[in-house]
Chains A and B, each alone.
Chain A
Amino acid sequence: MAKNKKTEEPQAQAAAAPKAGLFEYAPAPESPAAAGDIATSYGHFIGGEFVDSSGSEALKTVNPATEQVLAEFAHGTDEDVDRAVAAARRAFADWSALPGSERAKYLFRIARIIQERSRELAVLESIDNGKPIRETRDVDLPLVAAHFFYYAGWADKLDFAGYGPNPKPLGVAGQVIPWNFPLLMLAWKIAPALATGNTVVLKPAETTPLTALRFAEICRQAGLPKGVVNIVTGDGRTGAALTAHPDVNKVAFTGSTPVGRAIAKQLAGSRKKLSLELGGKAANIVFDDAPIDQAVEGIVNGIFFNQGHVCCAGSRLLVQESIQDELLDALKRRMDTLRVGDPLDKNTDIGAINSAAQLARITELTAAGEAEGAERWAPECELPGTGFWFRPTLFTGVSQAHRIAREEIFGPVLSVLTFRTPAEAVEKANNTPYGLSAGIWTEKGSRILWTASRLRAGVVWANTFNKFDPTSPFGGYKESGYGREGGRHGLEAYLDV
C-alpha cells in the first residue's frame, strides 16, 4: 500500500490531488447531511418496531473513509433471531393469503419511496460503505428502486411465471447479505421474497448495517404489515443463528464461498431451500480484434468499479498475446487518470476499502503476487492519511498457478494473463472453481457467441461489463453458488416449486 507522502496536509476529506495535466477537478463534495440523522445506537427491527437486543453486546460501524464511528448497533443474539423469526412466522399467514395484487401495491409503494429518498440513501450508503457517491447515486439506488418495481409486478402474475398454476411461497426466509452493495443486496433478497408471499428476516453485514435500518423506516412509511420484514443486525454469529433456525424455510446467502459452503453443510438434511451467490474470479477476455479504447473502459469498469468489491468483478484479464503491449499501454494510461479519494466527492472513481480487515486481505494477496513472481504496477496517486485505501493495481506476468489468479482478492487488483487462440482463452477462463461471470471483447459477433457458449459462467458480458438489471437473472456456475436472482428465474428461489 502506498504511503501518503504529504502528511502535513489535511487530508481526511481531500480527494486525491488532481493529476497534473489538461484537466484539473475542483472538489465537488456531496453534503454528508443529506444522509439524514444517524442515531448513536440502533436496535433490531422486529415485528414492525425498533427493539433492543436481548443481549448487551454492541458493534460499531465506521466510515471507512475517515475511520470515525458512525453508530453503534446491536449484536443479534440467538434470542433476538428467535424473536425475529417468530414475528416473521406470525406475519406469514396473512401476508401469503393477501391477493397478489395487494402485495404488489405494497412493493410499488416501497419502490416509490426509495425513489423519493434516493439521495438520502445514496449518501448514507457512501458514508457507511466507502463507495463513491457517483456509484451509489447512479448505480446502487436506481437499481434498488427498479428491483422493487420489477418484483412488485410479479406479485400478482405468478401464474404466468412458468411454475404452474398458483405457485406457493416457502414461508419464512432467512437472508444474509454482504457489505459490498448493502442496499442493493437487500433489494435482491427482499423484493422477490415478498412478491412471492414469503416473510423475511434479514441480517445485513456487520460493517454496513445503516441503510438496511433506514429501509426499515421505509417499510413503516409504506404501511407494510408488521413482521413481514424484520432486520436483525450482527456479525457472522447472528447469521449462523439465522440460517440454522429450525423455523426458517428458506435461506438466501450472498457472500464468500467458504461461508456458503458452511451454510450448505449446515442445511444438509433439513427441508430448507437454499440459494447462494458466492465468490468469483471472472475472466475478461480481450481478442485481437477488440475495439481497444472500449475494451479498456470495460476492463477498468470490470475491476475498479466499487473498489473491486464485486463478486463478478473482471479480476482476470485474458488478453490475446498479439495486442498485449498496445492494450496494457492504453490501460495504464487510463488507470493513471482514476481518482482515488473522498467517497462523497462526485469526481471520485475509487472510494475507500470497506474495512481494515479487507484492506489487510488485499495487501496480503498482492504481496503474495509479488512474492510468486508477478510484476506489480500502480499509478502514482496520493491517498488520504486516514481511512482505508488501496491504489488501483495491476499485475503482469501472472501464471494460472499464482494465488492472485486463483483466489478472489475482492479489491482493485487486476491480474493479467495472455492467450494465443480462442480455445486457449476458453480453457484458461474456465480454469477456476468459480463460475460467476465473464467478459468477451471482440468485434466479431459469431466469436462472442462461440466463446459465450463455452464459458462456464452464469453471466457473460460481451463488449460491456458489470451490467445489471432487475429483469436479468444473475448467479453462478460451480462454486460461485446456485440459484438465480433477478428476472423471472429469480422467483424460483422463493417458490415451493
Chain B
Amino acid sequence: MSDITLRLDVLKTYKLYVGGKFPRSESGRVYEVTDSKGQWLGNAPLGTRKDTRDAVLAARAAVKGWSGTTAYNRGQVLYRVAEMLQGRREQFAAEVAAAEGIAVKKAAALVDAAIDRWVWYAGWTDKIAQIAGGSNPVAGPFFNLSTPEPSGVIGVVAPQTGYGHSLLGLVEVIAPAVAAGNTVVVAAAADAPMPALSLGEVLATSDVPGGVVNIISGKTADIAPTLATHQDVNGLDLAGAIAADGPGAAATLEAGAADTLKRVIRPALDPSAQDWTTAPGTERLLSFLETKTVWHPMGI
C-alpha cells in the first residue's frame, strides 16, 4: 500500500492542436511516451496522415487572416506567447527535463531561452521588410519597390535531437515562420512530444488565431511525408528529419517536396550535435518569404 498517496494527481490527456482546438487523433489511437529512463510519462495521440491533412486545411484557412494582420499586430501576438509561456515556466521545465533527460535547472534555463526566443521573433515581425525589402534604383523613370510576403502554409518536422530540441528547438522552427506571416503544421518530435502538445495550450491562450499553428504528434514517417507531398503546402522545414533512410529521411522528403516546388530548409549535417541554444541568424526568418517587386511609372 506504500504507493497510495494522500492526494492523487490529475493527469493530463494530451491532445493534438489543430485549428485552435484540441482534438484527439481521428485514429482513436495513442502511443506511450517515456522519459530517458523508460518511465512512462503519458500517452500521446497517434496522429495520422488524415490528421495531418486536416491540419493543412486548418492552416490554409488561417493564412488569409494571419498574413493580412499588420506586422505590429503579429508582433504583439508573439510577445503575448512569451508572456503566457513565462507564466507556465515550471510546468515546461519539468516537461523538458523529462523529455531530454536533463536536470530541471538546466531545463528551466532552456525554457527561459524559449521565452526569449519568442520575444526575439516578436521584434522581427515589423522589421523583416526593412532588411529584406527596399527600393531598387532602376535605370528609368520608374518607382520600383521590393517587399517580402509570406509563402503560405509551412510543414515543419520539429527537431528530434540536439540540446534543447524539445521546446527551444521547437520554438525556433515555429516562431520565425509565423513571425513572417506564414501558418504552420508541425510534426512534433516523436519520442518527446509533450512540450509540443503543451505549447499548443499556450498558443491557444495567446491571441494566436486558430489554425496559425497546428501540432501533430505521432510517427514522423507518417506525418512528414504527408506534409512533404501535400499539394497545398508551400514550404518545408526538415529540422527533425533524422531517419537515415525510408519515407522519413530528409532526402526522400525533399524529393517529395520537389513536386510542388516547396521551399525547403534542410536539416543540419549532424542533427544530434545541434545546440538549439545557439543564437539564431535570419535563415529561418527569410526562408519562407516571397519577394514581390512592384513597378510604377513616374511622370506627369
**Chain A interface residues (CB < 8 Å from chain B):** 101, 104-105, 108, 112, 146, 149-150, 152-157, 160-162, 422, 445-447, 449-450, 453, 470-471, 487-488
Contact = CB atoms under 8 A, between A and B. Distances in A.
B300 A422 contact: yes
Contacts of A160: 127, 131, 282
A101 B116 contact: yes
B119 A105 contact: yes
B124 A487 contact: no
Given A153-B127, A446-B299, A488-B127, A108 B119 contact: yes
A152 B82 CA distance: 14
Contacts of B76: 149
A21 B125 CA distance: 47
A156 B123 contact: yes
B124 A162 contact: no
A164 to B, nearest CB: 14
Given A153-B75, A157-B127, A446 B120 contact: no
Contacts of A149: 72, 75-76, 79
A105 B125 CA distance: 16
B213 to A, nearest CB: 20
Given A152-B123, A154-B123, A160-B282, A446 B297 contact: yes
24 contacts: A104-B119, A104-B120, A149-B75, A149-B79, A152-B123, A153-B124, A153-B125, A153-B127, A154-B127, A156-B120, A156-B123, A157-B127, A160-B127, A160-B282, A422-B300, A446-B297, A446-B299, A447-B299, A449-B296, A449-B298, A450-B298, A471-B126, A487-B130, A488-B127
Contacts, number: 71
B72 to A, nearest CB: 6
B166 to A, nearest CB: 22
B297 A449 contact: yes
Contacts of A157: 123-124, 127
Nearest to B76: A149
Interface in B61-77: 71-72, 75-76
Contacts of A154: 123, 127
B173 interface: no
A146 B72 contact: yes
B122 interface: yes
A166 to B, nearest CB: 13
A160 B130 CA distance: 10
Interface residues of B, number: 24
A409 to B, nearest CB: 31
Given A149-B76, A157-B124, 7 more contacts: A104-B119, A105-B116, A105-B119, A153-B124, A154-B123, A445-B297, A446-B297
Contacts of A112: 79
Contacts of B79: 108, 112, 149
B297 A101 contact: no
B300 A450 contact: yes
B62 to A, nearest CB: 23
A162 B127 contact: no
Q: Which 9 A-B pairs have the closest CB atoms?
A: A153-B123, A449-B298, A446-B297, A446-B299, A449-B143, A450-B298, A488-B130, A422-B300, A450-B299
Q: Which of B79, B123, B141 has most chain A Cβ within 10 Å?
A: B123
A471 B130 contact: yes
